């Protein structure tokens, strides 16, 4: 009887040990499924995290909504998805995907390297041990952030050359991102409800005139069909999108989050290179650059839009404040840096 009690007590101790946690399942959104860069990068990550006590099983989804919902309902212990979807689990880190938050313009010219640097420094800030408490929200924790590339405006007619020309045009707006529709309306365009599964088809079929997407979507969604012979891609990032990994804290070993964030940070340059290669898949004839006056104007319009969306509760004010400091560290000559905007108490 005594030995039975001891065996039961030992079993209970082992079950309570972090090292005895069951295999963790991560839902990975990748529009290309198992052949996509997102999934392949997640495979490398899963292998690396074995040394930190994780035993990860990946499940890939081409429908982001389903991936996040499966995570929310407990069918997965973690999820990798865009910040537009993970905002519900941590609004502060999702602020990095707010319109224009990382876009740097110097003397009327887009500085893409500086824009990427803003994202890098923000990811570094969020991955630092000092920021660890900010990465936790209730039962959830941010396990890492990876760049997904700039969101460009793909248009079906080059005559949609600036915001004024977009007035009255139909623009795909993801129904899960309420800020998108309002920002589209701010410039006089017409938001049309869409999601990641159908926005490419809507553009290619002529149901919308404009879609916002990273260059990694160009080939798999065949966006050249929607552009035809008249279309173009505006070489001006409305935002630089990120993948964010969110996990349930009770499903992973103690201290896992910090190690995980550092692991994703170490992959930053490698992933940026993948986004650069994706940019290169779009033929040069499609690219269209804004005038210097328009570039400066867009920066101001996006800032005003961010402030409006933050005041309405769509964007996280603390996150925007952190990113502004970083943006001004990278580009201190910006007129925006002498103004008190986005510096909420």
pLDDT band at 22 (very low <50, low <70, confident <90, very high): confident
pLDDT band at 10 (very low <50, low <70, confident <90, very high): very low
DSSP 15-82: HHSGGGPPPEEEEEE-TTGGGSHHHHHHHHHHHHGGGGT--EEEEEES-HHHHHHHHHTTS-SEEEEE
103 found inside a domain: yes
Mean pLDDT of 6-33: 65
pLDDT at res. 89 = 98
Q: Which residues of 1-36 are buried (b: 16+ CB within 10 A; e: fewer)?
A: eeeeeeeeeeeeeeeeeeeebeebbbbbbbbbeeeb
Q: Which two tokens stand for residue 192?
A: 């049309």
Q: Which two tokens stand for residue 281?
A: 């898949």
329 found inside a domain: yes
Q: d(Cα 212, Cα 37) in Å, to the nearest integer?
A: 20
**CATH classification of the domain holding 161:** 3.40.190.170
What's the total number of domains in the chain? Answer: 1
Q: d(Cα 275, Cα 90) in Å, to the nearest integer?
A: 24
41 found inside a domain: yes
18 found inside a domain: no
Q: Among 5-14, 133-142, 222-231, which stretch is predicted with the lowest mean pLDDT?
A: 5-14
Residue 149 scores a pLDDT above 90: yes
pLDDT at res. 177 = 87
109 found inside a domain: yes
261 found inside a domain: yes
231 found inside a domain: yes
pLDDT at res. 11 = 43
Query: How does pLDDT run across 54-75, given as a tens digit for each residue?
Result: 999 999 999 999 999 999 999 9
Structural domain range at position 150: 23-337
54 found inside a domain: yes
């Amino acid at each position: 009887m005594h030995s039975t009690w001891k065996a039961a007590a030992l079993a209970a101790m082992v079950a309570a040990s972090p090292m005895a946690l069951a295999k963790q399942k991560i839902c990975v959104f990748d529009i290309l499924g198992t052949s996509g860069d997102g999934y392949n990068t997640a495979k490398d990550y899963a292998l690396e995290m074995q040394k930190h006590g994780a035993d990860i099983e990946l499940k890939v989804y081409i429908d982001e909504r389903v991936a996040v919902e499966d995570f929310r309902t407990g069918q997965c212990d973690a999820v990798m998805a865009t910040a537009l979807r993970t905002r519900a689990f941590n609004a502060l880190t999702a602020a990095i995907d707010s319109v224009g938050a990382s876009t740097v313009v110097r003397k009327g010219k887009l500085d893409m390297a500086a824009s990427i640097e803003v994202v890098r420094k923000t990811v570094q800030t969020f991955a630092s041990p000092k920021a660890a408490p900010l990465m936790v929200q209730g039962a959830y924790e941010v396990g890492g952030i990876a760049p997904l590339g700039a969101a460009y405006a793909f248009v079906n007619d080059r005559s949609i050359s600036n915001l004024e020309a977009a007035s009255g045009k139909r623009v795909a707006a993801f129904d899960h991102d309420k800020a998108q529709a309002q920002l589209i309306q701010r410039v006089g365009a017409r938001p049309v409800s869409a999601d990641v599964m159908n926005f490419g088809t809507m553009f290619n079929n002529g149901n919308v005139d404009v879609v916002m997407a990273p260059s990694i979507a160009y080939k798999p969604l065949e966006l050249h069909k929607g552009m035809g012979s008249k279309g173009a891609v505006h070489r001006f990032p409305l935002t630089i999108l990120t993948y964010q990994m969110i996990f349930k804290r009770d499903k992973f070993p103690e201290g896992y989050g910090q190690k995980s964030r550092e692991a994703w940070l170490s992959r930053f340059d490698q992933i940026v290179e993948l986004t650069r290669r994706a940019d290169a898949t779009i033929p040069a004839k499609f690219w269209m650059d804004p005038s210097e006056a328009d570039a400066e104007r867009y920066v101001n319009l996006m800032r005003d839009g961010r402030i409006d969306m933050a005041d309405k509760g769509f964007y996280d004010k603390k996150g925007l404040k952190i990113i502004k400091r970083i943006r001004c560290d990278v580009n201190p000559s910006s007129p925006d840096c002498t103004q008190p905007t986005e510096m909420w108490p």
